[in-house]
Amino acid sequence: MLKILVPIKKVVDYNVQVRPTADNKEVDIQNVKMGINPFDEIALEEAVRIKEAKKEVIIVTVTVGNKSVEDVLRSSLAFGADHSILILTELDLNPLQVAKTLHQVVIDESPDLVLMGKQAIDDDCNQTGQMLAGLAGWPQATFISKLEFNGDNVSFAREVDDGIENTEARLPCVVTVDLRLNEPRYISLPNIIKAKKKQIKTIDLTDLKINVARKTFISEVTEPEPREKGELVKTVDQLISHLKKSGVKNQ
């Protein structure tokens, strides 16, 4: 039996243009569309495909947050997860705190594989998977675009700056996935109905006895500066003339 743990996060939908709150302290998420982080959805799709191919697979999804994030766990159950865990807290945790929390879940659940998105699209930190592997003392494979099992080993194709790197790790391990691994399926209505009967286990963060004291804080959230209007040129000579006026020098 292979047990796969898939951490997921609720984020603002990638089609929504985010805005800071009036006090510039955080992102305004009131009355905006939200859902599962797209990279986590890819990880969940891969877990379901592994289950469809191997049969004897248990998929557990986990997220950290308040009661409002329970809907993404319910969606993950409709997607194909067997059961879910909600680590309940009102705190806004940073990647290290989340990694510590997930590490405790790993200890309690004893998964063979942690399969997660390479980053969340709200903060783009790309840290939690690596930190979790470090805390657990497990091998890790990041930016994965292909995954294959070979007994107790898993082979990977990794997206790197100059192409694809092929590597291998022994289970248990932590894997973070890239966009090109797969294309997630749509959730069917019958599965949505079935998901209502599946289990969501709730654990209060304080019961895990983890030190989640923050050492970093967000001081301000602002919108990026608007881009200056571009200018079309019709010839190479005009382009060169504009570049010279802008101060660009020959190298």
pLDDT on residue 250: 65
pLDDT on residue 48: 95
The answer to whether 77 touches 22, Cβ cutoff 8 Å, is no
Query: Domain-by-domain residue ranges, the chain?
Result: 2-219
Bridge-based pairing of strands 153-160 and 163-170 is: antiparallel
User: Of the candidates 4, 1, 121, which has an alpha carbon nearest to the alpha carbon of residue 60?
Assistant: 4
Number of H helices and E strands in the chain, helices first, is: 6, 11
C-alpha distances (whole Å) from 58 to each of 11, 83, 165, 197, 199 are 25, 9, 29, 17, 13
Q: What is the pTM of this model?
A: 0.83
| E-state strands within 14-122 | 34-36, 57-65, 83-88, 113-117
User: pLDDT tens track of the chain, all 251 residues?
Assistant: 899 999 999 988 777 777 878 787 777 777 778 889 999 999 999 999 999 998 799 999 999 999 989 999 999 999 999 999 999 998 888 889 999 999 999 999 999 999 999 988 888 888 899 999 999 999 999 999 999 998 888 999 998 888 889 999 999 999 999 988 999 998 888 888 888 888 899 999 999 888 887 777 778 888 878 887 877 888 998 888 888 887 776 65
User: Residue 117's CB: how many other CB atoms inside 10 A?
Assistant: 28
Hey, what CATH topology would domain 2-219 get? Answer: Rossmann fold (3.40.50)
Tokens in use for 162?
């100059």
Buried b (16+ CB within 10 A) or exposed e, 133-154: bebbebbbbbbbebbeeeeeeb
User: Residue 222's CB: how many other CB atoms inside 10 A?
Assistant: 7
